Amino acid sequence: MTKAASNPALLDVDGLDVFLGESHILHQVSFQVPHGGITALLGRNGAGKTTTLRGILGLVDRRGRVLLDGEDVTATPTHDIVRRGVGYVPENRDVFSQLTVQENLRLAEPTDGPLGPDAPLRYDLVYELFPRLKERSGQRAGTMSGGEQQMLALARALLNSNNKLLLIDEPSQGLAPNLVREVAVALERMAELVTTLVVEQNLSVIRRIADQVVVLDQGRVVHAGPAGELFEDPALTQDLLGVSHGGRQQSSTAQRTKGDFR
C-alpha cells in the first residue's frame, strides 16, 4: 500500500477511466472529496455518476488512481476498501428482503475496520433519524415501502462508526416529497459525523445539503467547486445541468450507449 504525500483530501480520484464492454464510460475523471461535509456528484442521466461510485469501490475494471486518506487503494479488493471505512448505499437500496429490520441492522455491525469490532454503534442516532425502523424492527424488510427501505439502507451505512466515507447513490429517487425531506435531513445529520459523496438528481435537495459539487458530462468532469458557486450562477447551472432553478435534472440526449451508465 503506497502512502501518498501530504494530501488534505479524504478521497482523491485521479485520472479514472472505466470501460464497460466496448464502451468507454469514464474519461480521465479526477476530483477530490475533502474531509467533512457533503460533496455532490451531479450530471445528466448517462453522465457516468453511478459508474464513478462503482469505480471508486473497484466494482468495475478501472484505470487511474484512487487514494483514500492518502493511501493508494486502486489495487485493493472491494471488501478491503469497505473494511478501510467506506460505506456504500447503492441506488437499488440492496436490503435483505427476507430478514427483519433488526436483522438487517445487525448485519451492519462492524466485525473489523479502523476502530475494530468494538467500534461504538449509532443505534440511538439511527432511531432518532428513522423512528419507523425502531417501530418496525421485527418486520421483514421486503414488506416495507420503498421509502422505508431507503431509510434502512442509509441506517445501515450510518450505524457502523468505522465508516469515514459514505458513497450514496440517488437516495431520494422514487420517494414521495415528504420522504425526500426526511432523507435530506438525515443526510445533513449523517454528514456531521461522516464525510459523504452523494449522487442525487433532485437539485432542491443538493442546494440544501451540498458543500461541494462535481459535475460530470459524458464521463468527463466539467466543473468542480463550492456548491454555492454553481447554484448562484443560473447560466452555469443551465449550461451544465440543463436546469435554471430547483428541480430534477433533465435527461441527456447526448449519450445513447447501452446499459446502466448513470
Residue-number span of the structural domain to which 190 is assigned: 35-55+87-241
How many angstroms separate the CA atoms of 154 and 148, rounded?
A: 10
Is residue 69 domain-resident? Answer: no
Is residue 200 domain-resident? Answer: yes
Place of cell 459525523: 193
| This prediction's pTM | 0.86
pLDDT score recorded for residue 141: 96
pLDDT score recorded for residue 251: 42
In which band, very low, low, confident or very high, does the pLDDT at 119 lie, cut at 50, 70 and 90? Answer: low
CATH of the domain at 176: 3.40.50.300
pLDDT score recorded for residue 247: 53
Q: How many domains does the chain have?
A: 1
> Hey, how many other C-beta atoms are within 10 angstroms of the C-beta on 34?
13
Is residue 197 domain-resident? Answer: yes
Is residue 167 domain-resident? Answer: yes
Is residue 249 domain-resident? Answer: no
Lowest mean pLDDT of 80-84, 89-93, 108-112, name the range. Answer: 108-112
pLDDT score recorded for residue 249: 52
Cell readout for 247 is: 428541480
> Hey, how many other C-beta atoms are within 10 angstroms of the C-beta on 79?
10
Is residue 112 domain-resident? Answer: yes
Is residue 5 domain-resident? Answer: no
Q: Which residues contact 233 (CB under 8 A, 6 or more apart)?
A: none
**Confidence check: pLDDT of 45 > 60:** yes
- The SS3 assignment for 161 reads coil
Mean pLDDT confidence for 103-117: 74
How many angstroms separate the CA atoms of 89 and 58, rounded?
A: 15
Is residue 3 domain-resident? Answer: no
Residue 168: φ, ψ to 5°:
-125, 125
Give, for 148, the enclosing helix (H) or strand (E).
helix 146-159
